[in-house]
Amino acid sequence: MTQFIKDYVLSCQKCSRNKNIHHKSFGILKTLPLPNGPWICLSMDFLTQLPLSNSFDSILVIVDRFSNHGLPSSIVSERGSLFVSSFWTNLCQKLKISRDLSSPYHPETDGQTERVNQILEQYLWIYCSYNQDDWNTFLPLAELAYNNSDHCLTKQLPLFTFYGRDPQFDSAHIPKDTTSGKLSAKIQSVQQGVKREL
């Protein structure tokens, strides 16, 4: 059965076309300091110059650097005009969020977000229509697919790392006997495992 599934997935023409490498080899990705827990440190980037989809042409990608899913204490972003604007600067100051700006034209500075961007683009290439004018309707599905897939470093689902359980798609499957203490201990255990893997 496993081999049948692998063969079936490998035979998907749309995946074969869209999951090929379309670029030169990237530079070595830099490792940023390890955050202490979820939603403490974020990194941000824009995917731009996309085909118009309901008047949208860009996606703001935000990555929680711990869980990959409160307010952060720091944000890593590119030096795009939105991230250096006086509004953004003042907002970060008021919320006491430190900003770390990556070097222009050096995406390897924030390799984690660049990798998420690649995966997001790949999902959208597969989900979108031929005209690519409906990608914005597939963003929630792409987000769910990413957050419900094993992370290559942590070997955990980002949703599991954050919530301490697998995502539920049917309320009938939610365990009735889980206490908050058990759930809290489980989340702490998962987060300690993620720290060891990072």
- Opening angle at CA 159, ends 145 and 45, nearest 5: 65
The pLDDT assigned to 90 comes to 92
> Binning pLDDT at 50, 70 and 90, where does residue 171 land?
low
The pLDDT assigned to 44 comes to 84
The pLDDT assigned to 170 comes to 60
The pLDDT assigned to 62 comes to 84
- Judged against a pLDDT cut of 70, whether residue 178 lies above it is answered with no
- Please give, one letter per residue, the 3-state secondary structure of the chain: CHHHHHHHHHCCHHHHHHCCCCCCCCCCCCCCCCCCCCCCEEEEEEECCCCCECCECCEEEEEECCCCCCCCCEEEECCCHHHHCHHHHHHHHHCCCEEEECCCCCHHHHHHHHHHHHHHHHHHHHHCCCCCCCHHHHHHHHHHHHHCCCCCCCCCCHHHHHHCCCCCCCHHHCCCCCCHHHHHHHHHHHHHHHHHHC
The pLDDT assigned to 93 comes to 92
Which range is most confident: 14-23, 103-112, 113-122, 151-160?
113-122
Superfamily of the domain at 28-170+177-197: Ribonuclease H-like superfamily/Ribonuclease H (3.30.420.10)
Q: Are 76 and 42 in contact (CB under 8 A)?
A: yes
Q: Is the dihedral of CA 117, 165, 41, 65 positive or negative?
A: negative
First-residue to last-residue Cα distance in the chain: 33
Cα separation of 46 and 121, whole Å? 12
